[in-house]
Amino acid sequence: MNRLLVLLLLLLAPLTAVAEQNLLFILDASGSMWGRVQGEPKITIARDVMADLVGELPADSRAGLIAYGHNRKGDCDDIETLVPLSPLQREELIERIRALNPKGKTPITASVHRAVEHLRALESAASVVLVSDGLESCGGDPCAAVREAREAGVDFRLHVVGFDLGEQDSEQLQCMARAADGRYFSAGNADELSKALKQAVAESPALQLTVTANGEPAAARVFIEPAGGGDEVARASVGDREESNPRRIELPAGDYDVLIRARGIAGKPEKHLTGITIPEEGEVERQVDFSAGKLEVRITANGEPLKARTYVYHADSDEEASRGRVDKEGLVDYDIPPGNTAFWFDQTVSTPPIRLSRGSW
């Protein structure tokens, strides 16, 4: 049936639930969207529902729109980012939605790649909702594309709504949702589509993590596992810019232990958060601070700078906090996290060349 509607995300639900989320909408405008549901073209239903939806979005929403199949017949490269993911451009989104005229094919896999590269370039996590009335028609494997993107560290969750879809067609779309920790919904008419989308865009449970150092956003890697130990369930990166810090990490409801490893700070310090409970709805906020004091040491011998390699340890655990080399002035400095530290240095001794002959040592 070569049909897909990757619909916008938010419908008529309590729209305050999606405030401050990043929402990337993908709209199928392939020729099959002229198919009818209860006598009305699916594209007409989609345009009306989405235009109403966008009109109700909170002003602080962030949204983007990708469409395909709306320019040329039979072209698997007919994919276009109509509105980049950005602070809500309400009128622009509505205008773009109203102008879509279905014509072409259903390149689901290539559309996934387009969305993934968009999110990667923005270094932004997002929720994506795919509403499909058919399957891939350009020979790709959309489930594998979703899985590979997640394994590569792209942070997104994909929900899929099968719209007027036969049972024989749904497995491919269900696989996509499973691969991105999302949900699959089935809808047979406009009312069911609206209900499914309201559930899809409801705010997912999440950990919102802020990482700072000396009052500024700090970059870090985040590793999450079930409380008490077990296989890793998620990992994420927190950036050193306001656009990516704090970082919202969507997780199923449950209890978790979190390891945060600083990036760009001497010694790569770590922090542990244990027993964090993620509720069924809403999010939990945590802040981790890697602020550090400055340690400066001058090393000399007989008044002259001494070549040496230096080490700083946590005095209470004997774990290395940082290391460095003394410069030509005999100085070495560190950013050291608060706490008791021990300092140790290893002198480097230079001697004139020594000639060794066979049997002489």
Task: Note the pLDDT tens digit of each residue in 339-358.
Answer: 655 555 555 544 344 344 44
Contact yes or no for 95/52 (Cβ under 8 A): no
Q: Looking at the domain assignment, is residue 1 inside a domain?
A: no
Q: 29: domain range?
A: 15-201
Fill in the DSSP letter of residue 104. Answer: B
Does the residue 7 lie in any domain?
A: no
Name which of 29, 24, 21 is nearest 8 in CA terms: 24
Domain boundary residue, one of 201, 219, 243? 201
pLDDT beyond 60 at 179: yes
DSSP assignments along 16-47, one per residue: GGGTT-EEEEEEE-BGGGG-EETTEEHHHHHH
Q: Which of 249, 271, 289 is the last residue of a domain?
A: 289
- 3-class SS of residue 307: coil
C-alpha 36: how far from chain center: 36
Give domain status of residue 5, yes or no.
Answer: no
Give pTM, 2 decimals. 0.57
Q: What is the average pLDDT score of the chain?
A: 80
Q: Say whether both 69 and 106 belong to one domain.
A: yes
Q: Taking Cα atoms as reference points, which of 175, 226, 3, 230 lies closest to residue 106?
A: 3
Q: Is residue 4 domain-resident?
A: no
Distance between CA atoms of residues 334 and 240, nearest Å: 20
What type of residue is 71? N
How many helices (H) and strands (E) the chain has is answered by 6, 23
The domain tally of the chain equals: 3
159-174: average pLDDT = 80
CA distances to 58, 203, 278 from 15, in Å: 7, 10, 22
pLDDT for 144 equals 95
Each residue's pLDDT tens digit, 202-240: 767 889 899 999 889 999 999 999 999 888 988 888 888
8 A C-beta contact, residue 160 and residue 132 = yes
Q: How many CB atoms lie within 10 A of CB 98?
A: 11
156 and 192 share one domain = yes
What does the pLDDT average to over 76-83? Answer: 94
Q: Are strands 320-325 and 304-305 parallel, antiparallel or unpaired?
A: unpaired
Regarding whether 222 and 184 lie in a shared domain, the answer is no
Mean pLDDT of 271-291: 89
Report pLDDT digits (tens) over 50-75: 887 787 777 888 889 999 899 999 99
Question: Where residue 105 falls among pLDDT bands split at 50, 70, 90?
Answer: very high
